[in-house]
Structure 1
Amino acid sequence: MYISKCELEVRYAETDQMGVVYHANYLIWMEVGRTKLIKDLGFSYAGMEKDGVISPVVDINISYKKPLKYGDTVVIHTWVESYNGVRVNYGYEMYNPKGELAIEAQSSHVCVKKESFRPIQMRKYYPEWHDAYETAKK
């Protein structure tokens, strides 16, 4: 299983009145992790969009373990949890500066044609991407 890793510094604007990261920002950080994973595997989500294919979120789950605060450096781990040629499930873990697990999350996506929202088979449209996901998955 391949795990992509990236670091972000928590900005003040990403926190709430309690001084911890506002929950919706984790969704953005999950996107950062996915984009990094896709880039690490040699592909570009932006390139897929230019082809008229998008990958909407169809399910998401986040479990909050420890708070992250302004100035913390968060380490985001992202991987392909499962993949069946149409649906891909990504896994995420985010760690605080002490190396403690702060967030566990999963998101599910399906690639669809932008104009019709009809699902596509990755094997047919992006065979190299399909092979990379098959190799990288858990």
Structure 2
Amino acid sequence: MKFNETKIRVRYGETDKMGVVYHANYAIYFEVGRTEWLREFGLSYRGMEAEGVMLPVVSLTINYKNSARYDDVVKVKTTLRKMPTASIEFDYELRNEADVLLATGNTILAFIDTKKNRPTRCPKYLLDKLQN
């Protein structure tokens, strides 16, 4: 399936007193990966929202393997798990510069029609871009 890789440098404010990344920040790294994955296809959350579609996270799983630390450059690999329907699902791998696996994860996001505040199907323009 289609994937994107992006790099993030761990900032001091994302760590605890021991210089280890606070666990909740992994979800933020996954969000950066998703955002960059969309950009690779010429899309953005802002553009989708302007079209009346929102993508709230309905499920998040993180499996911690090793610690990310202050000033590490981490690579987030974001992979589309399957073609979207009324939801879109991503798998993640987070690795450091030595290629050590730091965490794996998964998110499911629902497509929501903002005018009706109800679930909707994946927009055709996104499906079209994914099929190329």
TM-score by length of 2: 0.92
Structure-2 residue corresponding to 1:75? 75
Q: CA deviation at 1:27?
A: 1.0
Structure-2 residue corresponding to 1:52? 52
Structure 1 CA distance for aligned equivalents of residues 107 and 8 of structure 2: 20
Structure 2 CA distance for aligned equivalents of residues 25 and 112 of structure 1: 25
Taking a change above 3 Å as real, the CA distance of residues 87 and 99 of structure 1, as seen in their structure-2 partners, is: same
Structure-1 residue corresponding to 2:62? 62
Give the paired residue count. 132
Name whichever structure is richer in helix by fraction. 1
TM-score by length of 1: 0.88
Structure-2 residue corresponding to 1:90? 90
**More divergent stretch after superposition (37-46 vs 4-13):** 37-46
CA contact 1:16–1:22 (8 Å) conserved in 2: yes
Structure 2 regions of 5+ residues with no counterpart?
none
Between the aligned residues of both structures, percent identity stands at 36
- Stretches (4+) displaced over 3 A: none
CA contact 1:80–1:89 (8 Å) conserved in 2: yes
Q: CA deviation at 1:19?
A: 1.6
Structure 1 regions of 5+ residues with no counterpart?
none
Among 119, 128, 131, the residue aligned to 2:128: 131
Taking a change above 3 Å as real, the CA distance of residues 52 and 84 of structure 1, as seen in their structure-2 partners, is: closer
Q: Deviations over 1:19-49 (max 9, x none)?
A: 2100111111111100100110121211011
SS in 2 for 1:18: coil
Structure-1 residue corresponding to 2:33? 33
The alignment yields a C-alpha RMSD, in angstroms, of 1.5
Structure-2 residue corresponding to 1:10? 10
Structure 1 CA distance for aligned equivalents of residues 34 and 42 of structure 2: 13
Q: Deviations over 1:65-105 (max 9, x none)?
A: 01000010000100111234111111110101210110100
Q: CA deviation at 1:115?
A: 4.2
SS in 2 for 1:77: strand
